[in-house]
Amino acid sequence: MSKTAPLHCIVLAAGKGTRMKSDLPKVLQPLAGQPLLAHVLQSASKLAPAAIHVVYGHGAERVQQWAQHAFAGAPLSWVLQAQQQGTAHAVQQAMPAVPDDAVVLVLYGDVPLTPPETLTSLVQAGRRGLALLTVELDDPSGYGRILRDRARQVKGIVEHKDAKPAQQRIREVNTGLMAMPAKRLRRWLSKIGNDNASGEFYLTDIVALAVRDKLKVTAVSAACAADVAGVNDKIQLAGLERELQRRHADALMRAGVTLADPARFDLRGELVCGADVAIDVGCVFEGRVELGNGVQIGPHCVLRNVRLGAGTRVDAHSVLEDCSAGADVRIGPFARLRPGAQLADEVHVGNFVEVKNTRIGHGSKANHLAYLGDGSVGRGVNIGAGTIFCNYDGANKHQTTIEDDAFIGSDTQLVAPVTVGRGATIAAGSTITKDVPAGGLTLCRAREQKTYPSWQRPQKKGKKK
């Protein structure tokens, strides 16, 4: 077979995953924020295959629904296996769309962490014969065992259920991933029966058929058990989640990022860091997050689709989503930046401040307890504690504009639409319903302050004087 034989991946993903005890099909269970199947499809895509055939069955509707909005552009085809009659039967469903000159790579939808380099070695060996990915396990129970002859040549696989006691002691197991020429595979599949302990058509039976054909059977060993671990229940899912997060953490630390504790770090997307970034414990990163040089993230922050400039610091318990900040910005503790928050350089957004769809200009500060929604704030503005942009009239959202160098006193309500002019000062406790001119002091309180010196506090009923 020539090296240019097109690669066809067949992903087995029809199984039910009973032990997940979940309505969500097993291959859609999330690992690092993405369905298990997405991880497999990403690894497969890296091999630049001519086609990826996904054999699906259980939870068909939901799997298809998900597939429609993910992986646009990948050479995916979907094959329904209505009844799960075994791994050979599953592969068989995809074969009509696989040409004879192809090399086939069989993947499992619930084995998410196999490195593309390992798959590449497997495919290379599969171009010359039958190649199996195997691994040695301390506890091989449940897996198909690799049978070798005296010359250590692979001669078959025996499933756990069908294995004799001596065979059960074999620690080298079949991971299920294999590669082989399509033409051979087609011939072998036509010969497989279901006379075994499960009454299923076992793909593993092709090994004995290849040996009978005197075709070379190669065992490619996986680098470690986690690379080929499958997921059957929530405990294994959590185990692989930690494994993958540890890999993310190691990659970041190798690139120079300081992680206070790599065991308390969660990345569910892509994190791009400049030099000398430090991340404290318990943070979650989702979507695409970019952190500039020297950015510091305090403990227990959540960042989803965020871009932060150099020297910016996010303090503990802040939640940032679909927003950006420039350089040397201070955010939190306990800040919430919602979609459309755009902070320029040197802005301060402090504790219990919520910002939504609002630009804040260079050096402006909102340090305590405020809601800034649907606004535009100029440079050098000071927004006092308790300031609210009253952006919603019950039906529509309106805009608040604050020009450069304005000072908004504490507990001011700005009833949008409204504009505060450049350099204006608003006295604390004002409810501003009309545009404020530039400069000067504007206040709007119910009435001027008055003192009633002989006023008495009301007494609690029944209390003795």
Q: Total residues contacting ligand UD1 (rule CB under 6 A)?
A: 27
**Window 161-190: residues binding ligand UD1 (CB under 6 A):** 173-176
Q: Is 44 left (phi over 0), alpha (psi -120 to 50) or beta?
A: alpha
Contacting ligand UD1 within 128-147 (CB under 6 A): 143-144
> Among residues 14 and 319, whose Cβ is nearest to ligand UD1?
14
Distance of CA 112 to the CA centre of its chain: 13
Shortest approach of ligand UD1 to residue 163 CB, angstroms? 10
**Nearer of residues 91 and 366 to ligand UD1, judged by Cβ:** 91
Q: Nearest approach, Cβ of 202 to ligand UD1 (angstroms)?
A: 3
Residue with Cβ nearer ligand UD1 (196 or 401): 196
Closest by CA position to 298, among listed 269, 278, 275: 278
Q: Which residue in this structure is represented by tokens 């890999």?
A: 247
Site string for ligand UD1, 220-239 (x = CB under 6 A): ----------x---------
DSSP-derived letter for residue 438 is S
- The catalytic position among 300, 317, 362, 368 is 368
CA distance 439 to 458: 43
Measured from the CB atom, is 142 or 256 closer to ligand UD1? Answer: 142
- Report DSSP letters for 30-74, one per residue: EETTEEHHHHHHHHHHTT--SEEEEEEBTBHHHHHHHHHHS-TTS
> DSSP code of 233?
S
Please tell me whether residue 347 binds ligand UD1 under the rule CB under 6 A. Answer: no
Among 9, 92, 131, 159, binds ligand UD1 (CB under 6 A): 159
- What DSSP element (H or E) covers 248? helix 234-254
191 phi, psi to nearest 5 deg: -100, -5
Q: Which residues inside 67-126 make contact with ligand UD1, applying CB under 6 A? A: 81, 84-87, 89-90, 108-110
Q: In the complex, what is the shortest distance from the CB of residue 379 to ligand UD1, in angstroms, rounded to a whole number?
A: 58
Q: What's the CA gap between 305 and 237, in Å, rounded?
A: 25
Question: How far is 32 from 285, CA to CA, in rounded Å?
Answer: 10
Q: What x/- string results for residues 280 through 299 when contact with ligand UD1 is judged by CB under 6 A?
A: --------------------
**Geometric angle at alpha carbon 331, from 340 and 403, rounded to 5°:** 60
Are 377 and 395 in contact by the 8 Å Cβ rule? The answer is no
DSSP label at residue 148: E
Interface residue with ligand UD1, options 103, 132, 185, 203 (CB under 6 A):
203
CA angle 266, 244, 310 (to 5 degrees): 45
Q: Which is nearer to ligand UD1, 58 or 264 (CB)?
A: 58
Residue 211: count of CB within 10 angstroms of its CB:
18
Contact of 327 with 312, CB cutoff 8 Å: yes
Minimum CB distance to ligand UD1 smaller for 77 or for 258: 77
Region 5-64 residues binding ligand UD1, contact defined as CB under 6 A: 12-15, 55
What amino acid occupies position 185?
Answer: L
What is the smallest separation between the CB atom of 68 and ligand UD1, expressed in angstroms? 20
Of 108 and 188, the one with the shorter C-beta distance to ligand UD1 is 108
User: CA angle 156-162-164, nearest 5°?
Assistant: 85
Provide, rounded to whole angstroms, the least separation between the CB of residue 391 and ligand UD1.
Answer: 50
Active site residue 368: yes
- Which of 114, 121, 134, 204 forms a contact with ligand UD1 (CB under 6 A)? 204
Rounded CA separation 115/340 (Å): 37
Nearest distance from C-beta of residue 29 to ligand UD1, angstroms: 12
CB of 166 to ligand UD1, least distance (A): 18
Q: Which is nearer to ligand UD1, 114 or 312 (CB)?
A: 114
Report in angstroms how near the CB of residue 103 gets to ligand UD1 at its nearest.
Answer: 19
Residues near ligand UD1 (CB under 6 A): 12-15, 55, 81, 84-87, 89-90, 108-110, 143-144, 157, 159, 173-176, 202-204, 230
Active site members = 368
